[in-house]
Structure 1
Amino acid sequence: MDHIHKLKKLDGLVPIFINAQTGQFRQHSTITLGARGDSYYEYLLKQWIQMGKTEKNLMDDYLEAVSGMEFHLAKRSHPSKLLFFAELHGASKSVVNKMDELTCFMPGTLALGVHNGMPGHHMDIAKELLNTCALTWLKQPTKLAPEITYFNVAEGNEEDFFVKNNDAHYLLRPETIESLWYLYHFTGNTTYQDWGWEMFQGIEKHCRVENGYTTIGNVKSATATKPRDRMESLFFVRNFKIFFSFIF
C-alpha cells in the first residue's frame, strides 16, 4: 500500500494491472470499480478504520479516489437518470457505460465511511447507487443480478439498462446484499430489508438445489436459468451471514 500510494493515479483512480517487473501501473489497463479493481477502494477505507484511523495516507487516498469517481465515473442513465459508475478503457481511458455487480460494494463502503467521519454527501451517493444496484436485481424476472449491466445514456431510450446474454449469469455475488445491510443499519430504512427479502426469495427459488446452492447462467428467464452445478464458498460466509443479520 505504501508503494501504491506513491504511484501516479488518475485523481485517485488506479488501473487494474501493475507490471510486476517495474512496479508501475500498466497504462492501457482498465479503470473500474468492478472486477479486479473493487477491493483496492474498499480496503483503503477498511484498513484505515482497522488501524485506528492513524494511517493518513489511506484516508487521503480514499478521499481522493471517491472524488475521482465522482468526476470521472459517475454517470446518469436515460430516461430515469439512475446513477451508475462507468469504466475507463484503454490508454485513452474512454468511457464505457457498463457496471459490474461487484461495483455494488461501493454504497456500503461509502456509508461506512460517513459513519466514520467521511463527508456527509457520500451518503447521498451511496443511497442513489444502491437504488441502481437493487434495480439490476429486482427488474429481472428471477430477482437476481446479472454479472454485468450496460446503461443507456442517450436521450430517447425507453429502458435505463440492458443485459447482454453472455453477461446474464449470477455467481452468488454478495456485494449488493452487503450494501443493503450497511444502509439499513445506518438509516433504519426498512425498504432495504424489503429489497433484501426479495433477493433472498430469488436465491431460494432459482439457486437452491438438493445439496446446496448453484450459480445460474441466465437471470433473464425464470424458467430457463441454466444452473451451473457450482457453488462459491463465499456464499455461506457472506450472503447467508448478511441475510440472517438484517432480514430475519
Structure 2
Amino acid sequence: MKIRLLLVLSLFATSALHALPVAPSTPMSDAEKAQYATHVKAETLRAWNAYKKYAWGHDELHPLTHEPFDWYGHSLLMTPVDALDTLVIMDLKPQADEAHGLIDTQLNFDQDIYVKDFEITIRMIGGLLSSYQLTGDKRLLELADDLGHRMLPMFNSPTGMPWEYINLHTGAVRGNESNPAEVGTMLIEYGMLSRLTGKPEYYDKAKRAMVELYNRRSAKGLFGSTINIETGKWLDSTATIQGGTDSFYEYMAKAAILFDDKDCAKMWQESLPAINQYLADERPTGLWYGEADMNTGARTGATYGALDAFFPAVLVLSNEIDRAAKLQDSGYKMWNVAGIEPERFDYAKMKIVSPEYPLRPEIIESTYYLYHATHDAKYLAMGKTYFDNIMRYCRTSDAFAALKDVRTKKKTDSMESFFFAETLKYLYLLFSPESTLDFDSIIFNTEAHPMKKSLAAAH
C-alpha cells in the first residue's frame, strides 16, 4: 500500500510539473513591447529614487527598513557603480548624471578593508569600465585602473590563482579555499582593463589564473567545486554549472569572442561536450543540468536553480539554440512552481530545496539572449511573466525586496546592486528596440556590464 501511494504521488508530481504553463508564442506588437519597456524604466527610476532618498553614498539600500548598508563598513558606492550603465542605457539622464558625479568625486579605493576578489571585479571594475565606454569619462577608467592595480597582488599565489580576499590599502591577501567561478571570472574585466590602459599584466595574470584552473580538470573534462589555490588540489569533487562554477564556463566562451582568444576558444570547445555529457539530464519533465563527480562522471545530484539559469545564454553564444531553448523551458517550469523561481530546485522530486529569491537576473538574461537569437514571441511572454511576478511579489512602497521564501512570498530586507545592473537592465533590453544596445557589438560580463568588442582588440 505504501509503495502504491508513493508511486501515485510520484506520478502526480510529474504530471503537475508537465501541467505548468508554457509560454505562448503570441506575437506582441511594438506598442505593447514599448509599454513594457516604459514600465520597466519607470520602476527602475522608482527604485533608484528610493536608494537616493535613504542610502545615498552607500553601497546598498535595505528596502524594508530604509537603512543604508555598506558591504565592508566603508562605502564603495556599489549601487551607483553597478547601476550607472543601466541608467545610461535607459536614458535616465538626470539620474545617470547624479550617479556619475558621485562616483567621480567621492569614490576612493584607498581603504584599509579586505574585499572579495570576485564580487569587486565583476561589479566595480566591470561597472567602471562599461560606464567609461558609454560616457567617455576618463576618470572612470582611472578609477578602474587604480582598483585593478590594488587587486593585482591577489594573483601572487604559488599557482597564480587568486586569493579570495585582498586588502585594498595594504595588498595583504587571505582565503586559500576558492572555487572555479572566483578563480576564472576575471579575464573579461582585467582583459578590458589591459586593452584600455595598455598594461599587459592585467590580461596576463587573469588569463594565467584561468589556464591554471583549466589544467586541473579531471580526465572526464570536469571541474570540482572547491579548490586550494596554494596547492592546486581539489577539496570537493562535485561538478556542476551552479554558482561557484557558473561564470568560469561563461568567461571561457565570452573571452574567446571578446578578445578573439584562441586558447579560451579551445578550452571552451573542449569543456562544453563534457558538460553536456555528464551534467545534462533528460527527464520526462524536460532538459535539466545536475551534479556529477568530476572524476567518475557519475551523477551525484538532481538540482537546478536560479544561478544555473545563465546557461541557456551561454549555449546561445555557442550556437546550441535548440538545447538552450529546451533548458530555458525547464527554467520557466521551475519559475512557475511557486510563481517565482527558487534559489534551488530538485527537478527529480519537483521540490523546492532552497526557497529564497534574491531578485536574481539569470533566467531573464537567457530569455533576452534567446529572443535575440530566435525572435520567438514566447520569450517576450516569458519576460512578461517574470516582470509581472516580480512586481506582484517583490515590489514595496518605494523599491523592491528579495523574497525569503517564494512559497509564502515573505520578503527579506535586501536589494542588491545587481538588481539594477542585471535584472532591470535585461528586462528593459528584452522589450526595447534592438537598436537600444547593439547585441552583436558587445559582450556582457557576468554582471551584465557591456564591453565593446571594438575596444577589446589587442594592442
**Partner of residue 416, structure 2:** 232
**Partner of residue 62, structure 1:** 268
Root mean square deviation, CA, Å: 1.8
Q: Say which one has the larger Rg.
A: 2
Question: Under a length normalisation based on structure 1, what TM-score does the superposition of the two structures give?
Answer: 0.83
- 1:209-220 matched pairs, under 5 angstroms: 209-220=396-407
> SS at the partner of 1:163?
strand
**Partner of residue 48, structure 1:** 256
Deviation digits for residues 122-162 of structure 1 (CA, Å, limit 9, x no counterpart): 2211110011011111232xx3100001022xxxxxxx722
> SS at the partner of 2:411?
coil
**Share of identical aligned residues, percent?**
28
Looking at structure 2, the residues matched to 95 and 133 of structure 1 have their Cα atoms a distance apart, in angstroms, of 20
1:76–1:113: structure 2 CA closer, same or farther, 3 Å change rule? closer
> SS at the partner of 2:254?
helix
Looking at structure 2, the residues matched to 20 and 128 of structure 1 have their Cα atoms a distance apart, in angstroms, of 36
- 1:132-211 matched pairs, under 5 angstroms: 132-140=330-338, 143-152=339-348, 161-164=350-353, 167-211=354-398
Letter of the structure 2 residue corresponding to residue 86 of structure 1: G
**Shift of the alpha carbon at 1:234?**
0.1
**Shift of the alpha carbon at 1:231?**
0.8
Are the counterparts in 2 of residues 11 and 67 from structure 1 also a CA contact under 8 Å? no
Are the counterparts in 2 of residues 35 and 100 from structure 1 also a CA contact under 8 Å? no
Are the counterparts in 2 of residues 97 and 150 from structure 1 also a CA contact under 8 Å? yes
Looking at structure 2, the residues matched to 192 and 102 of structure 1 have their Cα atoms a distance apart, in angstroms, of 19
**Partner of residue 73, structure 1:** 279
Looking at structure 1, the residues matched to 219 and 246 of structure 2 have their Cα atoms a distance apart, in angstroms, of 16
**Partner of residue 306, structure 2:** 101
Are the counterparts in 1 of residues 224 and 294 from structure 2 also a CA contact under 8 Å? no
**Shift of the alpha carbon at 1:201?**
0.5
> SS at the partner of 1:76?
strand
Confirm whether residue 12 of structure 1 aligns to residue 221 of structure 2. yes
> SS at the partner of 1:18?
strand
Letter of the structure 2 residue corresponding to residue 85 of structure 1: Y
> SS at the partner of 2:238?
coil
Q: How many residues get paired?
A: 222
**Partner of residue 188, structure 2:** none
Looking at structure 1, the residues matched to 419 and 394 of structure 2 have their Cα atoms a distance apart, in angstroms, of 11
Segments of structure 2 that go 5 or more residues without pairing to the other structure are 1-209, 433-459
Segments of structure 1 that go 5 or more residues without pairing to the other structure are 115-121, 153-159
**Partner of residue 233, structure 2:** 24
**Shift of the alpha carbon at 1:45?**
0.7
Looking at structure 1, the residues matched to 281 and 214 of structure 2 have their Cα atoms a distance apart, in angstroms, of 27
Are the counterparts in 2 of residues 138 and 198 from structure 1 also a CA contact under 8 Å? no
Letter of the structure 2 residue corresponding to residue 192 of structure 1: Y
Query: Highest relative contact order (Cα 8 Å, sep 6+), 1 or 2?
Result: 2
Are the counterparts in 2 of residues 197 and 247 from structure 1 also a CA contact under 8 Å? no
> SS at the partner of 2:310?
helix
1:228–1:22: structure 2 CA closer, same or farther, 3 Å change rule? same
Are the counterparts in 1 of residues 290 and 299 from structure 2 also a CA contact under 8 Å? no
> SS at the partner of 1:83?
strand
**Partner of residue 88, structure 1:** 292
> SS at the partner of 2:227?
coil
Decide which moves more: 62-71 or 196-205: 62-71
Letter of the structure 1 residue corresponding to residue 231 of structure 2: T
Question: Under a length normalisation based on structure 2, what TM-score does the superposition of the two structures give?
Answer: 0.46
**Shift of the alpha carbon at 1:246?**
1.4
Looking at structure 1, the residues matched to 249 and 315 of structure 2 have their Cα atoms a distance apart, in angstroms, of 10
Confirm whether residue 2 of structure 1 aligns to residue 211 of structure 2. yes
**Shift of the alpha carbon at 1:94?**
4.4
**Shift of the alpha carbon at 1:208?**
0.8
Looking at structure 1, the residues matched to 374 and 293 of structure 2 have their Cα atoms a distance apart, in angstroms, of 35
Confirm whether residue 129 of structure 1 aligns to residue 335 of structure 2. no
**Shift of the alpha carbon at 1:90?**
8.4
Letter of the structure 2 residue corresponding to residue 175 of structure 1: E
